């Protein structure tokens, strides 16, 4: 065994579907973590996925059992969004820190219950918002930070996605499954947090999705600037990047990023460098493993991710109300009341009831010692 193999974190991957397979193939060669166990309700699928990734991992349908047998010391949750909270709870209560695929949960109230649960167990729960980890996004962020106060940020996402499965059945395949990435990227680009949203969503007549595959949303940011978003998952032609196409207009000029490798700054004296770091899920894995080693709070530690989910749920709610303005602070407080009403575990419910407000609950010191410094040119 080489030195790097000896220090790889042994992990159990839960969910061996399309994305679970992508995680396992990446982990097979990762210097940071070793996939020692794989869990899925569908055992045959889990075995086939493990074999096709060329792995020798313990396979089963019980997370606790597979974790024990394999010696896993952390969990990576790649199940469907509806299962995220239950699986995260099993892992955290078994003493395993968790890296969970986006979206953390279908609702903000379920996310708040997980904030409380993570606090109770003292284990790290981090959301893998993998689209934060793109080198050209880091370069774009450098440019944006030199432009001064924001006026407006525009992001457009137009794609033709054929991914049969839960996405094609959900009520909001764009907002809940895809825009969650772009909304999170807005929060990565600027500390100017969203406070309200107006949104309309619809399903084009030719759509192969059951739910709304298209939407427009305008968020008001704390400074008064606007984030203007439009997207669709069923647009054949003129495809944008998976990362969306971005334009920022600010006091000292403008900048754009096509979501791939083209960053443009139209402002005097604004420069940037493209870093050379691991991207996508490799980047989020690296930050997770590093957080466990150093105790530094990672981006998207569970409570830091709640506002990203509030953007999604606020947009869904606004659309259901015919485009009415939804205040994200009100949404957070309503979600806390819902979380307390739904929570079955006494210890979690008691902690939720002790919060003076949802805003307080998510602003207390997160797991770890200090927020990760965001280095110039870096993804963190
Ligand atoms: N970061 C990205 O770019 C990206 C891309 C695709 C998918 N995802 C996310 O990854 C997750 C999985 O997506 P997918 O496309 O692989 O879905 P999928 O339906 O292909 O696979 C999900 C798997 O989870 C298993 N599962 C469900 N509930 C379970 C439970 N309680 N315990 C164990 N296994 C369970 C299912 O049997 C299935 O095999 C979703 O949250 C999705 O949003 C992220």
78 CB under 6 A from ligand 1? yes
**If you search the block for the tokens 């997160």, which residue do you land on?**
366
Ligand 1 mutation pick, 43, 44, 80, 129, max ligand atoms within 8 A of CB: 80
| Structural domains in the chain plus CATH codes | 3-131+282-302 (3.40.50.720), 134-266 (3.30.360.10)
Burial of 205 from C-beta contacts in 10 A (0-12 / 13-18 / 19+): exposed
The ligand 1 atom at the shortest distance from the C-alpha of residue 130 is 1
pLDDT digits (tens, 9 = 90+) for 122-167: 999 999 999 999 999 999 999 999 999 999 999 999 999 998 888 9
Q: Which atom of ligand 1 is nearest to the CA of 87?
A: 31
Looking at residue 322, its pLDDT comes to: 98
Whether 152 is in the pocket of ligand 1, judged by its Cβ within 6 Å, is no
In this prediction the pTM is 0.95
pLDDT, mean of residues 11-17: 98
Burial class (CB in 10 A: 0-12, 13-18, 19+), 118: buried
CA distance 95 to 120: 11
CA neighbor of 156 nearest in space, from 249, 242, 29, 51: 242
Ligand 1, atom 29, lies closest to the CA of 79
Supply the residue whose CA is at minimum distance from atom 34 of ligand 1: 40
Q: Cα torsion for 274, 161, 104, 34, to the nearest 10°?
A: -60
CB of 324 within 8 A of CB of 93?
no
User: Mean pLDDT lowest for which of 248-257, 258-267, 369-378?
Assistant: 369-378
Per-residue pLDDT at 228: 98
Mean of pLDDT values over 47-53:
96
Neighbours of 240 (CB within 10 A): 19
pLDDT in tens, 265-300: 999 999 999 999 999 999 999 999 999 999 999 999
Ligand 1 center from residue 19 Cα (angstroms) = 6
* C-beta 19 within 6 A of ligand 1: yes
Tell me what pLDDT residue 123 has: 97
Per-residue DSSP letter, 234: B
| 147 Cβ inside 6 Å of ligand 1 | no
Residue in 89, 138, 153 with CA at minimum distance from that of residue 116: 89
16, 17, 126, 167: residue to mutate for ligand 1 pocket, most atoms within 8 A of CB: 17
């Amino acid at each position: 065994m080489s030195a790097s193999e000896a220090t790889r974190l042994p992990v159990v991957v839960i969910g061996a579907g399309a994305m679970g397979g992508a995680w396992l193939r990446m982990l097979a060669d990762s210097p940071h973590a070793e996939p020692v166990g794989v869990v899925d309700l569908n055992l045959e699928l889990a075995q086939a996925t493990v074999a096709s990734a060329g792995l020798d991992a313990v396979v089963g349908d019980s997370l606790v059992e597979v974790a024990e047998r394999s010696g896993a010391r952390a969990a990576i949750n790649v199940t469907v969004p509806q299962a995220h909270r239950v699986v995260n709870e099993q892992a955290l209560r078994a003493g395993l820190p968790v890296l969970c695929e986006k979206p953390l949960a279908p609702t903000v109230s379920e996310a708040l219950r997980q904030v409380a649960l993570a606090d109770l167990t003292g284990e790290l729960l981090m959301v893998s918002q993998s689209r934060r980890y793109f080198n050209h996004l880091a370069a774009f962020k450098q440019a944006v930070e030199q432009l001064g106060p924001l006026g407006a940020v525009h992001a457009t996402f137009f794609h033709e996605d054929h991914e049969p499965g839960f996405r094609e059945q959900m009520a909001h395949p764009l907002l809940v499954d895809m825009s969650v990435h772009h909304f999170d990227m807005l929060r990565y680009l600027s500390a100017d947090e969203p406070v309200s949203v107006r949104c309309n969503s619809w399903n084009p007549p030719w759509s192969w999705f059951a739910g709304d595959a298209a939407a427009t949303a305008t968020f008001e940011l704390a400074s008064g600037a606007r984030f203007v978003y439009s997207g669709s998952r069923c647009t054949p032609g003129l495809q944008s990047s998976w990362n969306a196409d971005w334009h920022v207009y600010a006091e000292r000029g403008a900048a754009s990023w096509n979501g791939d490798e083209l960053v443009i700054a139209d402002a005097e004296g604004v420069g940037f460098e493209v870093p050379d770091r691991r991207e996508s899920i490799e980047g989020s894995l690296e930050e997770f493993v590093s957080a466990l080693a150093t105790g530094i709070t990672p981006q998207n530690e569970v409570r830091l991710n709640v506002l990203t989910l509030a953007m999604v749920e606020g947009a869904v709610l606004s659309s259901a109300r015919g485009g009415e303005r939804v205040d994200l602070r009100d949404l957070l407080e309503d979600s806390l009341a819902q979380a307390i009403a739904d929570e079955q575990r006494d210890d979690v419910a008691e902690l939720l009831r002790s919060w003076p407000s949802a805003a307080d609950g998510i602003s207390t010191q997160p797991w770890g010692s200090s927020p990760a410094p965001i280095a110039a040119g870096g993804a963190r």
